[in-house]
């Protein structure tokens, strides 16, 4: 079965320091993986997605993620945190098969706190 | 371009009462999704529509939940009767097709007392 595990429920960084949000996936197939961000009282927004092309994926707002098959990981990083990055982040896997296309399985989320 | 619109944004009801949520997807988006997000959890898919057809409702508790998308545009999700455990955020998302990015609305936060 496909699933994702976000290894940290809460991450706190200082503004200007690097961000690392960790995600491991479980999949019988070559997965499609995503990172979404959820700001308070706003809709979920797609940050980036991996669909078996380049293993290093660049997203919006300076975020990027690297797909590592050997480690079954898809960690999200950003070189320098900004106060506006404080939000909930979700690692997501898409189920395989044409009938499941669009069916997303969300991790439990990581709350990113950015301190001034 | 307007995003996905949901209403109401907040709803407080007593248990055993009915409640309905409305979603207006982005214009031209054929695929519409309803998700349930419990506190501290990631969203879970309840039902997916392609145009007016519900193509995946396997996670919808059909004893009390129902949904419709009569003209393939707006959609309504209903709970009757509501239970305490239904307190959660109900998210609507849409995409041009099921192969495209899903755009999420802000959600409706339901509190059942």
Q: Which element (helix H / strand E) includes A106?
A: strand A104-106
Minimum Cα–Cα distance from B108: chain A residue: A41
Neighbours of A53 (CB within 10 A): 8
**Tell me: the pLDDT tens digits for A65-77?**
999 989 999 999 9
Res A95: pLDDT: 74
Res B110: pLDDT: 98
Minimum Cα–Cα distance from A32: chain B residue: B99
Sign of the torsion formed by the C-alpha atoms of B86, A94, B67 and B35: positive
Judged by a CB distance cut-off of 8 A, whether residue B94 touches chain A is: no
CA pair distance B106, A110, nearest whole angstrom: 19
CA pair distance A19, A31, nearest whole angstrom: 24
- Which residues in chain A are closer than 8 Å to B42, comparing Cβ atoms? 90, 92, 106-109
What number of C-beta contacts closer than 8 Å exist between A and B?
Answer: 47
Minimum Cα–Cα distance from B10: chain A residue: A41
Q: Which domain holds residue A109?
A: 3-115
Closest of B40, B88, B105 to residue A111, by C-alpha? B40
Closest of A48, A32, A35 to residue A107, by C-alpha? A35
Tell me how long chain A is. 116
Are B42 and A109 an interchain contact pair (Cβ–Cβ within 8 Å)?
Answer: yes
**Collapsed DSSP state (helix, strand, coil) of residue A112:** strand
- Which residues in chain B are closer than 8 Å to A110, comparing Cβ atoms? none
How far does CA A112 lie from the centroid of its chain?
12
Q: Where are the domains of chain B?
A: 5-112
Query: What does DSSP assign to residue A85?
Result: G
Average pLDDT, whole number, for chain B? Answer: 94
First to last CA, chain A: 41
Res B83: pLDDT: 96
Determine contact, residues A3/A106, Cβ cutoff 8 Å: no
Res A100: pLDDT: 64
CA pair distance A81, B90, nearest whole angstrom: 30
Query: What does DSSP assign to residue B52?
Result: T
Low-confidence spans in chain B with pLDDT less than 70? 1
CATH of domain B5-112: 2.60.40.10
Number of domains within chain A: 1
How far does CA A18 lie from the centroid of its chain?
15
CA pair distance B64, B11, nearest whole angstrom: 17
**Which CATH number do you get for residue A94?**
2.60.40.10
**Tell me: the pLDDT tens digits for B66-98?**
999 988 899 999 999 999 999 999 999 999 988
Low-confidence spans in chain A with pLDDT less than 50? none
């Amino acid at each position: 079965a496909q699933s994702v595990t976000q290894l940290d429920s809460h991450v706190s960084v200082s503004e200007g320091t690097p961000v690392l949000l960790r995600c491991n996936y479980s999949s019988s197939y070559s997965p499609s993986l995503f990172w979404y961000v959820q700001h308070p009282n706003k809709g979920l927004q797609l940050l980036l997605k991996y669909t078996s092309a380049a293993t290093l994926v660049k997203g919006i707002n300076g975020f990027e993620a690297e797909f590592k098959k050997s480690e079954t990981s898809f960690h999200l990083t950003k070189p320098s945190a900004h106060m506006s990055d404080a939000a909930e982040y979700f690692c997501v896997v898409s189920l395989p098969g044409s009938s499941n296309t669009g069916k997303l399985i969300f991790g439990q989320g990581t709350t990113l706190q950015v301190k001034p | 371009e307007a995003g996905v619109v949901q209403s109401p944004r907040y709803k407080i009801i007593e248990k055993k009462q009915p409640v309905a949520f409305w979603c207006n997807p982005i214009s031209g988006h054929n695929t519409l999704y309803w998700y349930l997000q419990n506190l501290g959890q990631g969203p879970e898919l309840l039902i997916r529509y392609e145009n007016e057809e519900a193509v995946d409702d396997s996670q919808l508790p059909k004893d009390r939940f129902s949904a419709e998308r009569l003209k393939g545009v707006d959609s309504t999700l209903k709970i009757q009767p509501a239970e305490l455990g239904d307190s959660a955020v109900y998210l609507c998302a849409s995409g041009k097709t099921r192969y495209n990015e899903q755009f999420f609305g802000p959600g409706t936060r339901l509190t059942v007392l």
